[in-house]
Amino acid sequence: MLASSLADRSLFDAGYELLSRRYADLGMRVLLPLSRVWAGVSSSAPPGDPASFGGFHHPGQGYRHLQMTATITLYGQLTAGDCASPQAVALDLLRSYAHDCLHYGTCRRYRLTPDGQVARVQYGINVRGLDGSTYSAPDPPDAIATRNLGIVMEGATDTEATTIARQAAATAGITGMTGPAAVASHAFADTTGTLTPAAIEAASASAHPYLRALAGFNHDVTGRYRALVRQLADDRGELHQHLVTAMISGDLTELEQWLDTRHGPGCFATTFRSPARNSAPARES
Residues 122-147 as b/e (b if ≥16 CB within 10 A, e otherwise) read bbbbbbbeeeeebbbeebeeebebbb
**Strand ranges of the sheet holding 126-127, from the earlier edge strand across to the other edge:** 108-112, 118-123, 126-127
Taking 80 as the threshold, does the pLDDT of residue 76 lie above it?
Answer: yes
Tell me the sheet residues that pair with 156.
none
pLDDT confidence of 206, banded at 50, 70, 90? very high
pTM score of the predicted model: 0.93
Helix (H) / strand (E) element for 209: namely: helix 209-217
Lowest mean pLDDT among 74-88, 186-200, 224-238, 247-261: 74-88
Report how far residue 77's alpha carbon sits from residue 52's, in angstroms, rounded to the nearest whole number: 6
pLDDT reported for residue 285: 34
The rounded percent of the chain whose pLDDT value lies above 90 is: 82
212 vs 79, more confident: 212
Of 44, 224, 77, 38, which Cα lies nearest the Cα of 136? 224
Contact (CB, 8 A) for 166 and 192: yes
Q: Which residues contact 96 (CB under 8 A, 6 or more apart)?
A: 55, 56, 61, 70, 72, 161
Domain positions in the chain are 9-277
Taking 60 as the threshold, does the pLDDT of residue 154 lie above it?
Answer: yes
Of 62, 50, 68, 52, which Cα lies nearest the Cα of 97? 62
Tell me the sheet residues that pair with 120.
110
Exposed, middle or buried by CB within 10 Å (0-12, 13-18, 19+), for 63? buried
Taking 60 as the threshold, does the pLDDT of residue 278 lie above it?
Answer: no
Lowest mean pLDDT among 85-89, 155-159, 223-227: 85-89
pLDDT reported for residue 2: 60
Any idea of the CA torsion for 72, 10, 191, 182, to the nearest 10 degrees?
A: -90
Residues 231-259 as b/e (b if ≥16 CB within 10 A, e otherwise) read ebbeeeeebbbbbbbbbbbeebeebbebb
β-strand pairing of 108-112 with 118-123: antiparallel
Q: Which residues contact 150 (CB under 8 A, 6 or more apart)?
A: 126, 134, 136
Interval 201-207 mean pLDDT? 95
280 vs 235, more confident: 235
Contact (CB, 8 A) for 127 and 135: yes
Report how far residue 50's alpha carbon sits from residue 217's, in angstroms, rounded to the nearest whole number: 15
